């Protein structure tokens, strides 16, 4: 939580192309729960905002010769010349006490637009590296992060011995390789398994479970969330 008297900030970065999807409804439910728990909620809707996920030399107009993205990020941080849109997203990231990545699991990972957001906004020299270290020494140490997502498969299919194998195997590269890498304390994910196969009543119950779970996490910084049916 924030150490100041101001309300803590939750940044939700949402990545689903359909505003009427269950994933979007799940995000809205989580946002409402966080507001009810006293958070100021900041939502970045990457598809709605037409976010460009490509980290390229176009972000660094002064680059010449061989393009090394992270070296150019470091240089831009030092010179104060980061791309204006990236800088705006970075400022919102650094201001947040809790980061929530909201998405449908595609190909056992993040949608490309969300991975591209990480590529461009987890800026070397500002979030890790340079004057910052890695993991516990990185810029976001002391803050929390969690995943809020849906799957196409059932809970059973993501268990040991299931059709796909343990969910933790698929989340390691996100939890450890992205979030913990830049300092976050990672909470257990909030997962709704197979909403496309649910009835309307079951989806309504799943959204209520999301509300209760997110409220629990928001109310107690020490709590760890649980995966949902």
User: Given a cut of 80, is residue 116 above it in pLDDT?
Assistant: yes
Reported confidence tier of residue 33, pLDDT bands at 50, 70, 90: very high
Structural domain for 59, as ranges? 9-219
The pLDDT assigned to 224 comes to 43
93: which residues sit within 8 A by CB, 6+ positions away?
A: 11, 99, 121, 127, 140
**Residue 2 forms part of a structural domain:** no
Q: What is the mean pLDDT of the chain?
A: 93
Taken as a whole, the chain contains a residue count of: 229
CATH code for the domain in which residue 49 is found: 3.40.50.360
Res 68 pLDDT > 90: yes
Q: Which H or E run includes 176?
A: none
How many independent structural domains does the chain possess? Answer: 1
Would residue 228 count as lying in a domain? no
Number of H helices, E strands in the chain: 6, 6
Domain presence at residue 168: yes
If you average pLDDT over residues 31-36, what whole number do you get?
97
Q: Determine the pLDDT at residue 227.
A: 41
Structure token digits, residue 54:
């490509």
Determine, yes or no, domain membership for 225. Answer: no
Predicted local confidence at residue 64, as pLDDT: 85
Given a cut of 70, is residue 216 above it in pLDDT?
Answer: yes
Q: Quick check: is 151 in a domain?
A: yes
Confidence bin at 133 (pLDDT 50/70/90): very high
Say if residues 33 and 215 touch (Cβ distance below 8 Å).
Answer: yes
Q: Please say whether the beta carbons of 100 and 42 come within 8 A.
A: no
CA pair distance 180, 162, nearest whole angstrom: 27
pTM over 0.95: no
pLDDT tens digits, one per residue of 179-210:
999 999 999 899 999 999 999 999 999 999 99
Q: Is 70 exceeded by the pLDDT of residue 1?
A: no
Give the mean pLDDT of 78-99. Answer: 97
Six-digit token string for 21:
């999807």
């Amino acid at each position: 939580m924030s150490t100041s008297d101001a309300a803590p900030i939750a940044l939700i970065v949402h990545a689903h192309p359909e505003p009427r999807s269950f994933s979007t409804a799940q995000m809205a439910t989580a946002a409402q729960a966080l507001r009810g728990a006293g958070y100021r909620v900041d939502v970045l809707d990457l598809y709605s905002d037409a976010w460009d996920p490509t980290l390229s030399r176009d972000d660094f107009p002064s680059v010449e010769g061989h393009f090394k993205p992270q070296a150019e990020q470091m240089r831009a941080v030092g010179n104060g010349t980061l791309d204006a849109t990236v800088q705006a997203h970075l400022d919102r990231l650094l201001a947040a006490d809790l980061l929530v990545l909201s998405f449908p699991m595609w190909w056992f990972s993040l949608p490309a637009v969300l991975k591209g957001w990480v590529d461009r906004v987890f800026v070397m020299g500002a979030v890790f590296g340079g004057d910052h270290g890695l993991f516990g020494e990185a810029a976001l140490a002391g803050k929390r992060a969690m995943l809020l997502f849906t799957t196409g498969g059932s809970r059973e299919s993501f268990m040991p011995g299931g059709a796909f194998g343990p969910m933790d195997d698929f989340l390691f590269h996100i939890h450890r390789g992205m979030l913990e890498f830049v300092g976050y304390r990672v909470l257990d994910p909030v997962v709704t398994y197979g909403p496309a196969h649910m009835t309307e009543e079951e989806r309504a119950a799943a959204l209520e479970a999301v509300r209760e779970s997110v409220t629990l996490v928001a109310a107690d910084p020490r709590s760890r969330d649980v995966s949902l049916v």
